[in-house]
Structure 1
Amino acid sequence: MKKTLSAISLFSGAGGMDVGFVRAGISVKVANEINKDAAATYQRNHPDSKIYTSDINEVFEEISETKDIDIVFGGPPCQGFSVAGKMDPNDERNTLIWSFLDVVHIVQPRAFVMENVKALGSLEKWKPVRDEIFKRAENMGYSCEMFILNSADFGVPQKRERVFFIGFLNKDTKRETLEADFIKLHKPSRSIRDTIKHLGPAGSESNPQTCTAKITFASNPILRKSPYAGMLFNGMGRPLNIDETSNTLPASMGGNKTPIIDEEYLHGDEKENWVNGYHEAVTNNELDPKFQSAPSRLRRLTIKEAALIQTFPEDYIFEGSKSSVYRQIGNAVPCELAEVVAKVVVKELKSSDCNLKERERQISFATLF
């Protein structure tokens, strides 16, 4: 087998999946991303990869000129399938999964990895789409398996479930083998505190304060058992329990949908998150004057913190406006989750090559007699 496996990255975004695949020993030759800010971020951090910034349907010819590719990977836009959206079967963005498979058909890599939201892999509504993915993969000569993975199972400080369609060319890959490989890579998740505290307080040189959206109480709060669920504040920016794993960071961050941190509980002497007391008071209908406005110790998650929760390298440089950067981070596949997927694919490809070499050795040996 070649020393370094080569890949094409599609719908690359800011390059979160690419970070993981590169860490797994894969060289990304070509990438494609239509969003200009995300493409600029990608190019800044992956200078050795050639990136096309046009609509993917307009660069089939250019991409097909890239020869001897081992893996095609990427995450076509997921808004059309997401439970956070309208889930419209006619959403034009849904068709981009077929564009992804068109590139696979043109390039004929040894393997492909297509990522998307969990809903595409789990809801009955999207079963016809899943069936069509498997059918097209089989028609192209790929054995394809689907896995729904939670990034928190692989050391990522975030509960983020995603579906991965993984296909291998001319190979009858056993699902049980891939499952076992994923299980071997399981490791405990990290807490938010352990992930971001070393950056220092928001507003410091190493952790610039980037989202200043005002934090205001919801006039009609929606209560849940946990202070970190429900709706205590206006907007969708819920408070984070920094002693646990983060919930999924949304692409809508940047305004009042940006998660909330208790600065004094993270960096000060406070022994409890302020929202615990507020949640208890609201639940018991025992509000007193101190709860008339949110205290200054509550603030929004910074860009640096959000990037680390998505497991981007700390020195990763993002291009574009603050809202654009938050969106790029929220849209990304956690780098460490992508690395896990890449390692499983690489192991399977290496296994194929070892089996092929062994068969060639046996044939060569047999010809001597």
Structure 2
Amino acid sequence: MIDLFAGCGGMTSGFMAAKGYKSVMAVEFNLEAAATYAANFGEAHTHYADIADIPDEQVPAVDVIIGGPPCQGFSNLGSRNVNDPRNKLWKEYIRFVRHAHPKVFVIENVDRFFSSSEFALLQAETRPGGLLEEYHLEAGFLLAADFGVPQRRKRTIVIGSRIGEIPLPLPTHIRPGSLGKEPEWHTTRDVLTGLPTVPAVRDLPESWTRVFDQRVRGVFKSPDLHIGRNPTQLSLDRYRHIPPGGGRFNLPDHLLSRCWREKKTGTTDVMGRMQWDMPSLTIRTEFYKPEKGQYLHPQWHRDDPDRSVDRPITHLEAARLQTFPDDFVWCGSKIEIAKQIGNAVPSMLAEAIAHHLKPYLRGKGGTRPKELPCRLCQRRSQ
């Protein structure tokens, strides 16, 4: 397979965990993300480069192409500028499909991509005479929690196939209280329990490595990412008023900022606290800032504040909520690693897609395994 816009390798991590897949090329423009990818999957086939600078003759023939072109132009948090040049990078993805001629390709993007003009253009290329006329597209929304990820992250998934129609995968996990034999959604409790509630350090170790002839911070093991912050007294006072599932609307007037006081609706997850027995909301790139979303640790006690964990989640906790394995290693500064975590495809969502594709790639049609492996289910049962 080829991984385009590979980031730190969340999608590759999931496909490799599904067994039977081999990454022979990865392309990533950000140095620190490319360094993390190389540290986990090998530098020789990792290209730290602008995808447009990779010549056609260097694109190998493969069975599968995966990747998520940058989504900022589509994101609810972005400018929604249809002319954002990053939106056009899916055309480079098509160029790779044309030259690698995979049996299947998979695109991951934010939910708004499904209704964008860019997606309409992508669909148009599958018509007779189009660049992708050999391929049938299936597209829709997948909720990461439905596939074992302890996170309510909704994404557009596109599967292109020239070996017959391939539907989107069916959920492997169900909402608590739903009827069905599948295991229930995983929760923050499944991945945060057991980690020290008070991080021992506030910075990454002093460590550097050379990759692509560049000097980059790292390589860091996952425990190195359990780093705390130094909140102000005002922030601590705010944290202590926020119950699980709550947010800025739980704050007394004297702790509200002016913009919160004047904005009576919307941004309901701002200064929010997670819940132990639910998946988290979407982990974004600034999860270490509670004013950006529901990122406070779920432990809270109304009558015993000393037992509350009044801090945002750490980088390690965010990586676990994205279902990166604990043996994953990292390169970059704290901010760069946070971007890698927040921008990644959750590993277990990618793994579910990889398992789903296997029988089609092997010519056996859509034979769904009786029970898909789930490392969090195994941990829960233990």
1:32 alignment partner, SS class: strand
**Aligned twin of 2:339:** 327
Is 1:197 the equivalent of 2:215? no
Q: Distance in 1 between matches of 2:276 and 2:12?
A: 28
Q: How does 1:145-294 map to 2 (within 5 A)?
A: 145-169=138-162, 171-173=163-165, 178-179=167-168, 181-183=169-171, 187-204=183-200, 206=223, 208-214=226-232, 216=234, 227-230=245-248, 232=251, 236-256=270-290, 257=292, 259-261=295-297, 265=299, 273-274=300-301
| Aligned equivalents of 1:135, 1:152: Cα separation in 2 | 31
SS of the residue aligned with 1:132?
A: helix
| More helix, by proportion | 1
Matches within 5 A, 1:80-99: 80-99=73-92
Q: Whole-Å Cα distance in 2 between the matches of residues 164 and 241 of structure 1?
A: 27
Q: Secondary structure at the match of 1:194?
A: helix
Match of 1:33 in 2: 28
Whole-angstrom CA distance in 2 between matches of 1:72 and 1:189: 29
TM-score (norm: length of structure 2): 0.73
The alpha carbon displacement at 1:49 in A equals 5.9
3-state secondary structure, aligned to 1:144: strand
- Asked whether the equivalents of residues 10 and 33 of structure 1 are also in contact (C-alpha less than 8 Å), the reply is yes
* Counterpart Cα distance in 1 of 2:339 and 2:307: 27
- Residue 198 of structure 1: CA displacement? 1.9
Which residue identity does 1:335 align to in structure 2?
A: S
Q: Displacement, 1:163?
A: 0.7
Partner SS for 1:346: helix
* Distance in 2 between residues matched to 1:9 and 1:338, nearest whole Å: 12
1:52 — aligned with what? Answer: 47
Where structure 1 has 5 or more consecutive residues not aligned to the other structure, the ranges are 1-6, 266-272, 278-289, 355-369
Partner letter of residue 334 of structure 1? P
Q: Which of 29-38 and 182-191 deviates more?
A: 182-191
Quote the Cα distance in structure 2 between the aligned partners of 1:33 and 1:213: 34
What's the TM-score once normalised by structure 1's chain length?
Answer: 0.75
Tell me the equivalent position of 1:114: 107
Name the residue aligned to 1:129: 118
Partner Cα separation in structure 1 for residue 44 and residue 325 of structure 2: 18
Corresponding residue for residue 65 of structure 2: 72
After superposition, the CA RMSD in angstroms is 3.3
**CA–CA distance in structure 1, aligned partners of residues 234 and 55 of structure 2:** 48
SS in 1 for 2:348: helix
- Deviation for aligned residue 1:345: 1.7
Query: How many corresponding residue pairs?
Result: 313
Deviations 1:324-352 (A, max 9, x none): 11111000010000011111122222235
Residues 208-254 of structure 1: CA deviation (Å, up to 9, x unaligned): 32443447469999x99984345557794522112211000111234
Q: Distance in 1 between matches of 2:18 and 2:56?
A: 28
Question: For the Cα contact (< 8 Å) 1:202–1:302, is it kept in 2?
Answer: no
Shift of 1:48: 6.8
* Structure 2 residue ranges without an equivalent (≥5): 174-181, 202-222, 261-269, 367-382
Give the corresponding residue for 2:380. none
Partner SS, residue 323 of structure 2: coil
SS class of match (1:93) = helix
Instruction: Point out the structure with max Rg over C-alpha.
Output: 1
Once the two structures are TM-superposed, the CA of residue 61 in structure 1 deviates from its matched residue by 3.0
Q: Which moved more, 1:131-140 or 1:16-25?
A: 131-140
> Relative to structure 1, is the Cα distance of residues 320 and 220 closer, same or farther in structure 2, using a 3 angstrom cutoff?
closer
Deviation (angstroms), 1:85: 1.0
- CA distance in structure 2 between the aligned counterparts of 1:353 and 1:197, rounded to whole angstroms: 40
Q: 1:72 to 1:313 in 2, by over 3 A?
A: same
Do 1:261 and 1:300's aligned partners in 2 also have CA atoms closer than 8 Å? yes
> What secondary structure is seen at the aligned counterpart in 2 of 1:201?
coil
Of 9, 13, 22 in structure 2, the residue corresponding to residue 15 of structure 1 is 9
Partner of residue 360, structure 1: none
Secondary structure of residue in 2 paired with 1:300: coil
1:228 and 1:347 map into 2 onto residues whose CA distance is 44
Could you give the per-residue CA deviations for residues 169-201 of structure 1, whole angstroms, max 9, x where no partner exists?
A: 1x3316xxx24x424576422111221112222
Mapping for residues 295-310 of structure 1, pairs under 5 Å: 297-310=309-322
AA at the equivalent of 1:311: T
